[in-house]
């Protein structure tokens, strides 16, 4: 029976909705956190448009979002110091006796649960809590993962509407069988700008034992949108036990000859072009951030866990990102966050077309050109991590398979990071283990360099998933390696590098060149073209790229450019192997031997090439061998 607390605290209309879900565990959980967090009001959100509209309207009424001049467009601000994922205070709670690598932030389970329950006591005082039900992945599918979220932020609840598939009816359908994730979030006390005030008590705690995530005293989406990076950590743990993958990956359809569509997944660390890759204008988008991958009938199949985009807005302009640009200027429902709102109710961000307005309101409050922060640094027109939230249904390039319960068959997987001097623009692995180890598990990304030409600091980020790992790195890599077992057809694995620079620090490629790389990868995944066996993988032949550059971009691809971009940089590649081996030896618990073997083979290939051709090798040398 539904507990008495629920009956007491929830008015009868809301209570009747909850009663439709036959799941005592769910009711008990909700009762427990209503009692602890002590909200003034409870709203249960079903999949009905009326309920969803209620939340949308509250966001503006309670000031968490401001209506802009354009209909359906609103803006939300997070606290000036709450603009990104809080890695330091995001912790996996460890039961006694379990260990994770140093690179994964953890805390002892029992003490941390006590702490978070203390922080959350009465935290929703005077506020309304929204109880929401969603489904990660398509509904009615092997991939479906139901999630229940309680939050006192209408902004969070509204964002989730744009980003996730409604799941109330899925909960009703699954009843007592639902193996759901539970997220409890409170923005905590708000200041006069309606942003979280008690950032010193900001916490994101992940309890793998009970599949619960607690998030407190924060509003930034990456810390609060329970179905995004919070559920991702629970899903990685669940997938590990069951043999499927949760990846920080886009999913896209790459369109080849004769109407062939080959699906690709792609992993990139944040701010490395993942969203703009998923939105390439010749292709179709399935998802831009998180994918579940499962094996079915000897093939790898993937789904987009989400159905919307929480994308970085910095640098979006009409020329480089025409599709996103058009969507942002359409009447679609959009939440902008942490950009500039002009006095006329317009918006501006770093890198947008047109003049920067003189003044307005942004993530720092009242803003004017030249305004400085407390440390004397000029505050830009928008935060570098400022975002837009929008449902994918607003994109003409949306792939028709988005909600297919079977997902899409994966033909290729791509790994890429910010790398100024080592990897060629695109290469294909010799096979599954080589790709997983030498590309995925060796992924690094550079922080942007302050001085021209100077190298950034490289950050190790296996599969771009390090921030979200809830299992030992060793287990995660083994899970990836073993994933190929029993496959009839392995996806081809590629590595891309959009950020290669010349000696003077200028990029060697233009942003649109990536359109060509994916067309080539599509041909390779179907074995339509040959490639050159270089020591670090298979690279494109000049003739194939020349043809594609002409077809795709109407550009003449010069031989000198090819030679420069695709030359094998032996010294840098060996230095990278040294770095990666050292990390796996010293910072990762019991890294699998196969990892060292694959890297050693690659080193040997590089060394023997160096003997013949020197440190920088023209790609066509390998054509002759």
The half-sphere exposure of 324 on its side-chain side, counting CA atoms within 13 A, is 27
**Integer Cα distance of 146 and 26 in angstroms:** 12
Q: Considering the complex, what minimum distance in angstroms separates the CB of residue 469 from Mn ion?
A: 14
- Which residue from 167, 222, 273, 412 is in contact with ligand SPV, where contact means CB under 6 A? 222
Q: Considering the complex, what minimum distance in angstroms separates the CB of residue 305 from ligand SPV?
A: 12
Residue 305: both structure tokens together: 């866990």
Task: Choose the stretch contacting ligand SPV; rule: CB under 6 A; options: 14-22, 169-177, 204-212, 221-229.
Answer: 221-229
Task: Choose the stretch contacting ligand SPV; rule: CB under 6 A; options: 100-108, 222-230, 442-450, 483-491.
Answer: 222-230
Q: What does the angle CA 526 – CA 529 – CA 531 come to, to the nearest 5 degrees?
A: 110
**Integer Cα distance of 523 and 530 in angstroms:** 9
- Which residue from 221, 226, 308, 380 is in contact with ligand SPV, where contact means CB under 6 A? 221
* Residue labelled with tokens 């691809």: 557
- Which residue from 283, 289, 306, 467 is in contact with Mn ion, where contact means CB under 5 A? 289
Interface positions, 224-283, toward ligand SPV (CB under 6 A)? 228-229, 270
CA 400 to chain centre: 21
Q: What does the angle CA 606 – CA 608 – CA 612 come to, to the nearest 5 degrees?
A: 110
| Binding string, residues 310-329; x marks residues near ligand SPV by CB under 6 A | x-------------------
Q: Considering the complex, what minimum distance in angstroms separates the CB of residue 310 from ligand SPV?
A: 6
Task: Choose the stretch contacting ligand SPV; rule: CB under 6 A; options: 220-228, 276-284, 327-335, 564-572.
Answer: 220-228
Q: In angstroms, what CA-CA distances link 560 with 33, 507, 547?
A: 64, 15, 15
76 interacts with ligand SPV by CB under 6 A: no
Residue 217: both structure tokens together: 């005293």
The DSSP bridge pattern shows strands 261-267 and 408-416 to be: parallel
Helix (H, G, I), strand (E, B) or coil at 226: helix
Residue 228 binds: one of Mn ion, ligand SPV, none (C-beta under 5 to 8 A by kind): ligand SPV
Which CB sits closer to ligand SPV, 247 or 522?
247
**Integer Cα distance of 429 and 443 in angstroms:** 14
Residue 522's nearest CA partner among 280, 269, 275, 303 is 280
Burial 273-285 (b: 16+ CB within 10 A, else e): bbbbbbbbeebbb
Query: Which residue minimizes CB distance to ligand SPV?
Result: 222
Residue 226 binds: one of ligand SPV, Mn ion, none (C-beta under 5 to 8 A by kind): none
Residue 245: both structure tokens together: 């993958």
**Integer Cα distance of 194 and 457 in angstroms:** 36
Which CB sits closer to Mn ion, 284 or 464?
464
Which CB sits closer to ligand SPV, 85 or 294?
85
Which CB sits closer to ligand SPV, 124 or 313?
313
The beta strand positions in 477-548, using DSSP E, are 492-496, 532-534, 537-539
| Binding string, residues 487-506; x marks residues near ligand SPV by CB under 6 A | --------------------
Which CB sits closer to Mn ion, 270 or 509?
270
| Binding string, residues 121-160; x marks residues near ligand SPV by CB under 6 A | ----------------------------------------
Interface positions, 279-298, toward ligand SPV (CB under 6 A)? 289
Would you give the DSSP letter of residue 440?
A: I
Q: Taking a C-beta distance cutoff of 8 angstroms, is the pair 538, 531 a contact? A: yes
Active site residue 272: yes
Count residues binding ligand SPV (CB under 6 A): 8
Q: Taking a C-beta distance cutoff of 8 angstroms, is the pair 521, 527 a contact? A: no
Q: Considering the complex, what minimum distance in angstroms separates the CB of residue 68 from Mn ion?
A: 25
* Interface with ligand SPV (CB under 6 A): 85, 221-222, 228-229, 270, 289, 310
* Interface with Mn ion (CB under 5 A): 289
Active site residues: 272
């Amino acid at each position: 029976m539904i507990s008495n607390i629920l009956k007491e605290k929830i008015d009868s209309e809301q209570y009747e909705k909850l009663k439709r879900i036959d799941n005592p565990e769910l009711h008990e959980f909700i009762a427990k956190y209503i009692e602890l967090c002590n909200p003034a009001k409870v709203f249960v959100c079903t999949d009905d448009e009326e309920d969803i509209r209620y939340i949308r309207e509250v966001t503006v009424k309670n000031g968490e979002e401001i209506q802009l001049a354009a209909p359906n467009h609103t803006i939300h601000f997070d606290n000036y110091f709450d603009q990104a994922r809080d890695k330091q205070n995001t912790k996996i709670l460890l039961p006694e006796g379990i260990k994770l690598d140093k690179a994964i932030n953890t805390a002892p389970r029992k003490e941390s649960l006590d702490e978070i329950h203390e922080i959350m006591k009465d935290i929703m005082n005077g506020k309304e809590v929204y109880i929401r039900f969603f489904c990660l992945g398509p509904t009615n599918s092997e991939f479906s993962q139901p999630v229940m979220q309680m939050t006192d932020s209408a902004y969070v609840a509204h964002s989730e509407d744009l980003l996730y598939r409604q799941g109330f009816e899925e909960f009703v359908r699954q009843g007592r069988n639902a193996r759901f994730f539970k997220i409890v979030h409170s923005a905590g006390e708000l200041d006069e700008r309606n942003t979280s005030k008690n950032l010193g008590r900001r916490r994101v705690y992940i309890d793998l034992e009970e599949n619960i995530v607690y998030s407190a005293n924060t509003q930034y989406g990456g810390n609060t949108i329970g179905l995004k990076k919070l559920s991702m950590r629970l899903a990685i743990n669940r997938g590990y036990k069951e043999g499927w993958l949760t990846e920080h990956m886009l999913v896209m359809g790459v369109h080849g000859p004769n109407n062939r569509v080959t699906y690709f997944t792609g992993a990139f660390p944040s701010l490395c072009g993942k969203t703009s890759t998923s939105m390439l204008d010749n292709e179709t988008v399935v998802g831009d951030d998180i994918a579940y991958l499962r094996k079915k009938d000897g093939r790898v199949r993937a789904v987009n866990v989400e159905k919307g985009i929480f994308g970085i807005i910095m640098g979006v302009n009409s020329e480089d990102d025409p599709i996103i640009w058009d969507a942002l200027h359409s009447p679609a429902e959009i939440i902008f966050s942490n950009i500039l709102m002009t006095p006329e109710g317009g918006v501006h961000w770093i890198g947008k077309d047109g003049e920067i307005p003189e003044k307005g309101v942004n993530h720092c409050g009242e803003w004017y050109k030249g305004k400085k922060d407390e440390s004397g640094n000029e505050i830009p027109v928008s935060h570098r991590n400022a975002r837009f939230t929008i449902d994918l249904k607003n994109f003409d390039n949306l792939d028709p398979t988005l909600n297919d319960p079977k997902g899409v068959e994966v033909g290729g997987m791509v790994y890429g990071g910010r790398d100024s001097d080592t990897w060629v623009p695109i290469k294909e692995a010799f096979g599954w283990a080589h790709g997983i180890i030498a590309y995925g598990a060796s992924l690094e990304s550079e922080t942007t360099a302050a001085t021209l030409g100077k190298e950034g600091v490289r950050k190790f980020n296996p599969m771009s998933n390090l921030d979200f790992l809830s299992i030992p790195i060793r287990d995660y890599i083994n899970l990836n390696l073993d994933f190929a077992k029993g496959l009839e057809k392995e996806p081809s694995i590629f590595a891309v590098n959009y950020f290669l620079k010349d000696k003077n620090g200028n990029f060697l490629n233009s942003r649109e060149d990536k359109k060509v790389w994916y067309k080539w990868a599509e041909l390779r995944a179907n074995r339509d073209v040959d490639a050159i066996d270089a020591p670090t993988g298979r690279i494109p032949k000049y003739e194939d790229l020349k043809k594609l550059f002409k077809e795709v971009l109407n550009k003449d691809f010069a031989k000198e450019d090819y030679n420069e971009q695709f030359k094998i940089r032996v010294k840098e590649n060996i230095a990278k192997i040294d770095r990666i081996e050292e990390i796996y030896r010293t910072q990762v618990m019991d890294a699998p031997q196969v990892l060292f073997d694959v890297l050693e083979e690659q080193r040997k290939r590089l060394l023997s090439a160096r003997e013949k051709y020197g440190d920088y090798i023209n790609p066509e040398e390998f054509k002759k061998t």
